[in-house]
Amino acid sequence: MIKLGVIFGGMSTENEVSVKSATSVMNNLDKNKYEVFPIYIDKQGNWFEYEGNKPIENIIKYLKNMDVIFPVLHGLYGEDGTIQGMLELLKIPYVGCGIIASSVGMDKSYTKIIFEKAKINQTKHIYIKDYAGEKMTIVEDDLDEKKINIDEIINISNEKLKFPLFIKPCNSGSSVGVNKAENNEDLKKAILEAFKYDSKVLIEQGIKGKEVECAVLGNSRIGVEASRVGEILSAEDFYTFDAKYENQDSKTVIPASITDEQQEEIRKLAVKAFKALDGNGLSRVDFFVEEGTGKVFLNEINTMPGFTNISMYPKLMEDFGYSYSSLLDKLIEIAMKKK
Ligand SMILES: Nc1ncnc2c1ncn2[C@@H]1O[C@H](COP(=O)(O)OP(=O)(O)O)[C@@H](O)[C@H]1O
Ligand SMILES: [Mg+2]
């Protein structure tokens, strides 16, 4: 039996989402193969043996007893390289991306820098940070920094981008803190709102069109497989937290209603993006296909995508030929072979 620690919850805005993902994972693990140790981290960062809700006194000792860890954590302190760094130090194999892919993939401004280098098409954007008093810092394309006030940012945005815009905290997930702006008033409000969640914020050109996603599995060494491309039919104006998790009218469709050429283009881009970040195990790569032009834009990469039975990642992989349980086996196998 393989001793498998499943870590979930976590100190992020996506704590509850992680609990849902981990519950699905644990329900689908083959109990003949794995002795499962559910480990819950609460929002304050306390660790518990989930069964019996017993605090874990010596976390290092507890983890060292495992053969492999599956960190089913979304967002900060989970999907951002921090827990991956701890597991590297402890020399415990773990499912999913390593430190670099996790941390770069979590921070939308740094993801953009790497994907620019890879010449992958992305939305035009403005990167601002460190809001204090009336001032903030704008980071230019060459990474030079300039202190300016919010009205100047709005002027720059009006010159460079066209409404609608999307404003997001760089470390967002599950659409928390993400807002759409149709005018300067919305924009100002959305910037201030985004700064409540993070010291770094992106203002992005809004793309009208289809929202599509591709699941990838593997790594550069063993090869990367890409699923077909699926489509999000959001029940709301955009794919908000509510549209993702609460509104039953949101739908996902496989395959997306795009041309075969677009399917192929997106699958190739998903693999390229994953490799560009030095990805391992899994990721879901999200794109927009612009109405009218058919142009493809990479939106973001999720190194620990939602993992409930009805989440896009497992559904795309099921469509590709991996049942939920065999997908888990494969991910754990990749994790254990790495060392
Ligand atoms: N540039 C954009 N154009 C159109 N819609 C966008 C854009 N950026 C974000 N959105 C919408 O907002 C949602 C959340 O933004 P996203 O960047 O995916 O953040 P998160 O990491 O929170 O999922 C997307 O699923 C999409 O519906
Ligand atoms: Mg997203």
Looking at residue 318, its pLDDT comes to 97
The structure tokens listed for 324 are 């939920």
Q: Write the single-letter amino acid at 148.
A: I
- Within 8 A by CB and 6+ apart from 208, the residues are 290, 291
DSSP bridge partners of 281: 218
Looking at residue 274, its pLDDT comes to 98
Whether domain 2-95 has CATH 3.40.50.20: yes
Ligand 1 pocket residues where CB is under 6 Å: 123, 166, 168, 172-175, 178, 204-207, 211, 238-239, 286, 288, 299-300
- CATH code 3.30.1490.20 region(s) in the chain: 125-205
Q: What angle do CA 227, 72, 63 make, to 5 degrees?
A: 135
Q: Is the pLDDT of residue 270 over 60?
A: yes
Q: Identify the residue whose C-alpha is closest to ligand 1 atom 13.
A: 239
Give the number of the ligand closest to the Cα of residue 241. Answer: 1
Q: Is the pLDDT of residue 338 over 80?
A: no
- CATH code 3.30.470.20 region(s) in the chain: 105-120+208-337
Distance CA 9, CA 71 (A): 10
Looking at residue 241, its pLDDT comes to 93
Q: Is the pLDDT of residue 151 over 90?
A: yes
Across the range 315-319, mean pLDDT stands at: 98
Ligand 1 centroid distance, CA of 111 (Å): 14
Across the range 187-196, mean pLDDT stands at: 97
Atom of ligand 1 nearest to the CA of 299: 17
Ligand 1 centroid distance, CA of 166 (Å): 7
Contact indicator for 215, 31 with CB cutoff of 8 Å: no
Helix (H, G, I), strand (E, B) or coil at 254: coil
Which DSSP symbol is given to 116? H
Superfamily of domain 105-120+208-337: ATP-grasp fold, B domain (3.30.470.20)
Ligand 1 centroid distance, CA of 296 (Å): 14
Q: Is the pLDDT of residue 339 over 70?
A: no
Q: Is the pLDDT of residue 276 over 60?
A: yes
Looking at residue 90, its pLDDT comes to 97
Q: Which of 126, 165, 172, 239 to mutate to test the pocket of ligand 1 (most atoms within 8 A of CB)?
A: 239
Distance CA 53, CA 234 (A): 37
pTM of the model: 0.97
Looking at residue 82, its pLDDT comes to 97
Superfamily of domain 125-205: ATP-grasp fold, A domain (3.30.1490.20)
- CATH code 3.40.50.20 region(s) in the chain: 2-95
Give tens-digit pLDDT for 80-129: 999 999 999 999 999 999 999 999 999 999 999 999 999 999 999 999 99
- Rounded percentage of the chain residues whose pLDDT exceeds 90: 95
Across the range 303-309, mean pLDDT stands at: 93
Across the range 63-80, mean pLDDT stands at: 96
**Across all residues in the chain, what is the average pLDDT?**
96
Looking at residue 207, its pLDDT comes to 98
Q: Identify the residue whose C-alpha is closest to ligand 1 atom 14.
A: 175
